[in-house]
Copies of this chain bind each other. A is one copy, B any other.
């Protein structure tokens, strides 16, 4: 399925500032960038960097005082790989690929080390496969209220576990923390989402099961088949869509995701959606 993505961000800069963006979509085996265009107005200079392991694409913009406008457009072919979830088991610690271990450890917003008993109490008895991560998502959906503005950039999974309110990033952080507390590697993903109202950057998560990463979204806000990946990391600290250093005020954010494939649009699915690592062979 083909998507047109458009992202326009405007800022007011009060004095020399640096802004780090992670808004360009990731190129990988399930999502191919057909066309891409980046327009920057008002910057002194800018450069780009793609991270080695996860191929996150960072854009640094240095800007003096005045208005700044970033415009990013892309056309992307997305071929989500959907599998029946029944056969996907958790991987025992003794057999996990050692390179996924970093996603087992606690991070800034996913203090899994403080949620061990909580996770064990709620999910410890469940069958150790794909359905257990689904149960985690269901628990979050049922017990945490989705409320815009109820949390801030310092809110972590430990807070959300008790305060029971948040937005997509908090839902993802809590899902990740629960997974890690159960020895399931899990990581944070950001993306553009088809059919998200109001339009915004979206966050969800992946769990490592059956030797691949599978996509989960506890918010149930959009079909998982319409998610176009931007960044992947341990939590929001790694792949915030914009990190601002200096006296910078966002003025407007306009996002649009259109489906270009005639007669098709992303549909909800009960299937498991697998991710193929960007720089490796087939799973």
Contact = CB atoms under 8 A, between A and B. Distances in A.
A194 B94 CA distance: 34
Contacts of A148: none
Interface in A5-53: 16, 18, 20, 45, 47-49, 51-53
A58 B100 CA distance: 12
B47 A98 contact: yes
B49 A98 contact: yes
Interface residues of A, number: 46
B18 A154 contact: no
Interface in A127-174: 143, 145, 153-154, 158, 161-165
A143 B121 CA distance: 6
Contacts of A237: 105-107
Contacts of A101: 20, 49, 58
A11 to B, nearest CB: 16
A117 interface: yes
A268 interface: no
A113 B52 contact: no
Contacts of A18: 93-94
B58 A162 contact: no
A238 interface: yes
B108 A154 contact: no
B49 A165 contact: no
A165 B106 CA distance: 19
A58 B105 CA distance: 14
Contact of A62 (B94, B118, B183): B94
Contacts of A16: 94
20 contacts: A18-B93, A18-B94, A47-B98, A52-B99, A105-B243, A106-B108, A107-B107, A107-B237, A108-B113, A113-B153, A113-B154, A114-B154, A114-B162, A114-B163, A115-B162, A117-B165, A118-B163, A118-B164, A121-B143, A161-B161
Which 9 A-B pairs give the minimum distances between C-beta atoms? A49-B98, A117-B164, A105-B237, A18-B93, A62-B94, A106-B108, A161-B162, A107-B108, A18-B94
Given A18-B93, A107-B107, 17 more contacts: A16-B94, A20-B101, A45-B94, A51-B99, A52-B52, A52-B53, A53-B53, A60-B94, A60-B98, A93-B245, A105-B243, A107-B237, A108-B108, A117-B165, A121-B143, A162-B162, A183-B245
